[in-house]
Amino acid sequence: MAKKKKIREDFNEVFKSGNEAKIKKMLEKHPWLLDEVSTEMDEVMGVQQQVIAALGVMEDELGGAVPIDEIVFSLRVDFNIRKTEEEVSEILFNVEHLGLVKKKSNGWALTSEGGRVCDDYLNKSINKIEF
């Protein structure tokens, strides 16, 4: 168990460095790392999709850019997810770099690609969500 922890810590350092050759070498030597990284990325993407969906719901309701507090409200009421304004803001800035949302003077808005992510998430989750 301690050996895996050390390997995991070493991999995290190599991953942060961005050295693709070392990353590839470690993944070849320890393929179980790929499963762990994939699971973590799936969780992060899931949270991002939830925030994008909440933004999309509120954008439709308000007819324009959405303030952070309205996104937090939609997450809580429409999706039963509790996030602080700080958490939502951090997620929005991260997905802004991916081209999924845009910061406007009066709030946040989806890009066309963000709209597709929103629709995909809502279509997959429609049976789980009560509006």
Give residue 69's pLDDT: 96
Output the pTM of the full model.
Answer: 0.71
pLDDT, averaged in runs of 10, over the chain (131 residues): 81 79 86 75 81 95 95 94 95 90 96 92 72 49
Give residue 45's pLDDT: 82
Give residue 4's pLDDT: 84
State the virtual CA torsion across 105, 110, 111, 112 in degrees, nearest 10.
-150
Give residue 14's pLDDT: 80
The reply to whether 36 falls in a domain is no
Domain that holds residue 20: 1-30
Alpha-carbon distance of 95 to 77, in angstroms, equals 22
Token duo for residue 63? 């007819």
Give residue 18's pLDDT: 75
Question: Is 24 in the same domain as 45?
Answer: no
Give residue 42's pLDDT: 66
Q: What is the CATH number of the domain that holds 78?
A: 1.10.10.10
Question: Is 25 in the same domain as 59?
Answer: no
The reply to whether 80 falls in a domain is yes
Taken in order 50, 52, 58, 60, is the CA torsion positive or negative? negative
The reply to whether 130 falls in a domain is no
Instruction: Give how far Cα 100 sits from Cα of 23, 51, 56, 75, Å.
Output: 28, 11, 11, 18
Could you tell me which residues are beta bridge partners of residue 107?
104
